[in-house]
Amino acid sequence: MAQEHKFEGWVADDATSVDGNLVWNEYKPKAWEDTDVDIKITHSGMCGSDLHTLRSGWGGTIYPCVVGHEIVGKVVRVGSRAGHFKIGDTVGVSAQNDSCLSRDGACLACESGEENYCTKRINTYDSIHRNGDQAQGGYALYHRCPSHFVVKIPQGVLPEHAPPMLCGGVTVYSPLKRHAVGPQKSVGVIGVGELGHFAILFAKALGARKVVAISRSSGKRFDALQLGADEYISSAEDQDWAQKHARSLDLIINTVSIAEVLTLAGTFVQLGAPEEPLSLPAFSLIRTRACMTGSVIGSPNEIREMLDLAAAKNIRPWVETRPMSEANTAVVDMVEGKPR
């Protein structure tokens, strides 16, 4: 029998954990199954979803909980039915264990014909595996999960760059690819944070005709242009910006409700997931015949495709690294909006 690893990590016991009260402790992983892979974690990204979960912002979190759903590390154990992985592979676990979003054949459960498998969503953490065990995330030493949620990290993508691609990266890559961004499309990106900076990088990598970054102030102008944006709009500092740029964008990747600059029959993609309901002026859609849609993460096949593009185009996201020992400080800094 293979040796069990000691699963330790930063455990949230209640909603106050978001205030810097995570506790380093041993926790119980899911029971080992032949389809599983164990990963020694080298890097775990920090996502806004972690904060929502820590404070039960999206609903009642299953405590105790280890968050972190942008996981990269080395394979240390492979089940007999875990596919093509081998000890020592550098791999990642996607932000959301839902491989059937695009019905791309990546889900082993679909291929097995198990009834109702895909009606049960299993998230990387704050969720229950099919065997009834609790799913735990990446603020930890090791991670165990079914192998069909695991992707290999290609050469050319650094392990510290890969984790945010597994959430923020694929969250924007998926709708950009789905809406056929290329030389004929102009793309607007509202917000130049984690999602926004990936949207600029991948829109340019896909060959968009024009990429326009939109933010309230001019404070991120330099960053946006350094990332590759062709233009920058400061909506709070130019009251006529919407009129000046009316009907100039085919696609808007968006975290707030602004659609006036869409072309006729353009597409407005909502990616952000605030805890409060969204609102949108009706005429923003009516006047442009706009299509409003949403998107969430991406399938394992889309993640592999995105990582291959990142390696081929030498895409380097802007990241800040911290030692795992500083997880509590990093969480508080995330709450206060300090990361850049």
Nearest-angstrom CA–CA distance, 151 and 192: 27
Name the nearest CA neighbour of 43 among 194, 162, 197: 162
State how far the Cα of 289 lies from the Cα of 27, in Å rounded to an integer: 51
- Dump pLDDT digits (tens) for 240-284: 777 776 777 888 887 654 555 556 566 767 666 666 776 666 666
> Quick check: 106 pLDDT over 60?
no
236 and 265 fall within a common domain: yes
> Token digits for 319?
């990241």
Domain assignment of residue 305, yes or no = no
Which CATH number does the domain housing residue 218 bear? 3.40.50.720
Among 298, 272, 305, residue whose Cα is nearest residue 98: 298
Question: Do 122 and 224 fall into the same domain?
Answer: no
Verify that 262 and 126 share a domain, yes or no. Answer: no
**How far is the C-alpha of 142 from the C-alpha of 155, rounded, in Å?**
22
Residue 336 CB partners (closer than 8 Å, separation 6+): none
Say whether both 256 and 238 belong to one domain: yes
Number of domains in the chain: 2
Task: Verify that 21 and 152 share a domain, yes or no.
Answer: yes
Positive or negative: CA dihedral 157, 158, 163, 169: negative
**pLDDT digits 0-9 by tens, 119-176:** 456 789 999 998 999 999 999 999 999 998 899 999 999 999 999 999 889 988 998 9
Q: Domain with 111 in it: what CATH number?
A: 3.90.180.10
How many other C-beta atoms are found inside a 10 Å radius of the C-beta of residue 277?
A: 5
Is pLDDT larger for residue 203 or for residue 97? 203
Structural contact between residues 245 and 212, judged by C-beta atoms closer than 8 angstroms = yes
285 and 228 part of one domain: yes
pLDDT for 153 equals: 97
Q: What are 280's two structure tokens? A: 């949108």
Determine the pLDDT at residue 111.
Answer: 45
Note whether 136 and 22 are same-domain residues. Answer: yes
Please choose, from the candidates 194, 192, 231, 198, the residue with its C-alpha nearest in 3D space to the C-alpha of residue 215.
192
pLDDT in tens, 177-186: 988 999 999 9
Q: What mean pLDDT do residues 82-98 have?
A: 84
pTM of the model: 0.83
Q: Is residue 13 part of a domain?
A: yes
Whether 48 and 117 share a structural domain: yes
Place of tokens 């990387």: 124
107 has pLDDT over 90 = no
- Both 16 and 70 in one domain: the answer is yes
Structure tokens at 143: 């991670």
Q: Which structural domain, as residue segments, surrounds residue 192?
A: 167-294
104: pLDDT confidence band, cut at 50, 70 and 90?
very low
What token pair was written down for 136? 């735990």
| pLDDT of 293 | 67
Question: Do 30 and 145 reside in the same domain of the chain?
Answer: yes
Task: Work out the angle at residue 197's Cα, subtended by the Cα atoms of residues 192 and 199, and round it to the nearest 5 degrees.
Answer: 110
**Is-contact 109 117, C-beta < 8 A?**
yes
pLDDT tens-digit series, residues 171-207: 889 989 988 999 999 998 988 888 889 999 999 999 9
In this structure, the answer to whether residues 29 and 83 fall within a common structural domain is yes
In a domain, 99, yes or no: yes
